[in-house]
Structure 1
Amino acid sequence: MRVIIDCDPGNGIAGANVDDGLALALAFAAPQISLEMITTVAGNTPSEVGYAVACDLVRRLEKSLPVWRGASRALLEPPAPWRERLDHGVDRHGLHKLWDDVQAPQPCPGSAPMAPYAMGELICNNPGEITLVATGPLTNVALALQLYPQMIGAVKRIVIMGGAFHVPGYLKDTNFGIDPEAAHAVLTSGAPITLVPMDVTTQTQMVHADLDRLTQYKSVLGSYLEQTMRPWIDYSMRTRNLPGCWIHDALTIAWLLDPSLTTGIDDFVDVALEGVARGMTCRYGRDNLRLDVGVSAPQGAPVHILQTVDNQRLLSLIEHHIQRCA
């Protein structure tokens, strides 16, 4: 299975989520997946920081794999409020010390933001063969679709982690909230899409004991996850009142490896672009609406939406593949 991962990784960065890194690790470890390109986008981390994180992992694993930096900001959404929230939360909580023993990745030499071109060319030159996994804001993907409209028919599938339908405390999620216009453009494009929203990813959980088992057999990949995930689990426990941490992005790769881990439903999906609802995700097949006054016909094609996941089987799948690299 040939795969591109478009992501915003934060492994090794104080206060930044590490689920992108776990998704990348699983893609590297699983023999069924041929990871052919990594692209980075501004989201969980600034684009340049995520680029450094991705390059650091590729370098540690001694892989020959192209890594392309992508968009540094959303199509329209102002970046400053998001950067203030995402980049300085660790200091507001006074928990920077959790990362005292973690070596942050070194900045990588400057790279032009060519990710949309790179992903578009690879997909269009290999019609029906490339699955695009997007675990950050959809800016790069939306730009690629503008540059290469034929991508809609050429991509095998786009697997997206993003959106929140009925998650307590979330009017919107970070990935779609950072760039609602990009999310709207991709979700209504008509491309074959699987959506992995927070409704299902908040059913996932990794606790310290799970990480202990995952990394008990020493390897470069295991040591990387041990070092970078441990402080994030502690941070999540203290700031989200969870027994561990959610592993949102890892579910995208796990679903590719074993769709039976989940249940899902097909429906039309869009993202609101105005008012207090800006960035919110909605699903609405017209045939299922009791009241459709003022509701325009849905755009694009139905999206496959994951709804439930067996967390123990998910953890076992991740453990199986990571440990085989030891």
Structure 2
Amino acid sequence: MAKKIILDTDPGIDDAMAILFAEAHPDIDLIGITTVYGNATIDNGTQNALYLKQKFRMKALVAKGTDKPLIREPVGATVVVHGEAGFGDVTAPNSLDIEAIEKPAYQFIIDSVRENPGEITLVAVGPLTNLALALEVAPDIVDLVKEVVVMGGAFGENDHRGNVTPFAEANIHDDPHAADKVFTATWPVVIIGLDVTEESFFTSQYLDELRDDAGEVGQFIWDISRYYLRFYSEKVGMNGCHVHDPSAIAYVIQPALFKTRRGPIRVVTGGPAEGMTIQKVDQCNYMNDEWSIFPAQQVGVQVDDETLLSLYRETLVQYSLQ
């Protein structure tokens, strides 16, 4: 039976890669896409989600989310990585035949999990503000959500610690207060962070072959990746890109691709280390310990990158043949 997911996303280039992965795989039932600020403004990101829904005839509902963090000042759209409107050199049309539902993202999440208790996995690949708002309004959903899978954070494994500051990953840095709420809630959380996403690579050749073999969806991914690859080439010195958001979808499909460790997690919410994610992994007792009172959550520390890349390619090639 396919796994029902709501994908909370800030569409973005790698977000589109993740959305199409979720749509394409037969083991996933993508019932909703909730948008949040981050890689793009909330208006551009929502338009991008609607464009994907229309272009690839998706059944998932699109719900527009919040445009700002809970407390901190907004950082602004990540134009240098994702372009002015989020999809690099590709711009979604101003006019589409479909619209987002009237219900805001946090309410869509609440209503959906209440209507499907124990069945929905929330996959969050942007700032976690929508999920935090849902928790504030309806704390009971912690007992109704099957699992929360987050692309975000960095814990120092495999020498990965941050990408927007020396110690913070972008999604968490955009709203550290929301992330701390989500990670310390009593629902089960799996964090697929830079520790594993920066261990997998879509090379330029891989994306070229996807374009050639995966039809319309492969061509679209190739088109939006041009801007992304220029950023990686110029700023990171790579001929390719990390597999960030699609890795969260890969975990939902095939958790065995990842090795995880357990322990409670806190997020630094101010100062030069704002957005840093810290997991307590020992069992020691301390005089001062603001970790142990919270539930242990899982953090990805290793990934079978070759199998992940094969899974992504095979999924999209098969999807293009339908």
CA contact (8 A) 1:37 1:67 kept: yes
Change (3 A) 1:262 1:88: closer
Partner of residue 310 from structure 1, selected from 304, 310, 313? 304
Consecutive unaligned residues in structure 1, runs of 5 or more: 11-17
Residue aligning to 2:261: 265
Matching residue within 180, 197, 202 for 1:201: 197
Q: TM-score, normalised by structure 1?
A: 0.88
Quick one: distance in 1 between partners of 2:264 and 2:91?
41
Q: 4+ runs of 1 displaced by more than 4 Å?
A: 88-91, 108-113
Q: How far 1:224 moved relative to its partner?
A: 1.3
Q: Distance in 2 between matches of 1:64 and 1:128?
A: 21
Aligned to 1:14: none
Percent identity for Structure 1 against Structure 2: 30
Aligned to 1:144: 134
- Residue 178 of structure 1 corresponds to which residue in structure 2? 174
Unaligned stretches of 5+ residues in structure 2: none
Distance 2:50 2:82 in 1: 24
TM-score, structure 2 normalization? 0.89
Distance 1:112 1:47 in 2: 15
Q: Residue 215 of structure 1 aligns to which amino acid in structure 2?
A: R
Aligned to 1:26, which of 21, 24, 28?
21
Q: 1:103 to 1:202 in 2, by over 3 A?
A: closer
| Separation in 2, partners of 1:220, 1:54 | 17
Q: Secondary structure at the match of 1:164?
A: coil
Q: Distance in 2 between the 1:27 and 1:268 partners?
A: 28
Contact 1:5 1:39 in 2 (8 A): yes
Q: Does 1:276 align with 2:272?
A: yes
Q: 1:288-309 CA deviation, whole Å, 9 max, x = no partner?
A: 57xx343335343111111011
Q: Does 1:221 align with 2:223?
A: no
Greater CA drift, 70-79 or 165-174: 165-174
Classify the secondary structure of the residue corresponding to 1:324.
helix
Other structure's SS at 2:202 match = coil
Is the contact made by 1:19 and 1:250 (CA closer than 8 Å) also made in structure 2?
A: yes
User: Which residues in structure 2 correspond to 1:1-326 (within 5 Å)?
Assistant: 1-10=3-12, 18-79=13-74, 82-83=75-76, 86-87=78-79, 102-107=89-94, 114-166=104-156, 167-168=160-161, 170-285=166-281, 287-288=283-284, 292-326=286-320
CA shift at 1:199, angstroms?
A: 1.3
Stretch moving more, 195-204 or 151-160: 195-204
Instruction: Name the CA shift for 1:229/1:120 in 2 (closer, same or farther; >3 Å).
Output: same
Q: Which amino acid aligns with 2:79?
A: D
Q: Structure 1 residues 274 and 294 mapped into 2: Cα distance closer, same or farther (>3 Å)?
A: farther
Change (3 A) 1:208 1:288: farther
Return the alpha-carbon distance in structure 2 between the equivalents of residues 132 and 107 of structure 1: 29
Secondary structure in 2 matching 1:171: coil
Instruction: Output the amino acid matched with 1:56.
Output: Y
Query: Residue type matched to 2:209 in 1?
Result: R
For the aligned residue pairs, the C-alpha RMSD in angstroms reads 2.3
CA–CA separation in structure 2 for the residues paired with 1:209 and 1:242: 12
**Bigger mean CA deviation after superposition, 195-204 or 152-161:** 195-204
Q: How many residue pairs were aligned?
A: 308
Provide closer, same or farther for how the CA distance between residues 112 and 298 of structure 1 changes in structure 2, counting only shifts above 3 A.
farther
User: Letter of the aligned partner of 1:8 in structure 2?
Assistant: D
One-letter amino acid matched to 1:144: A
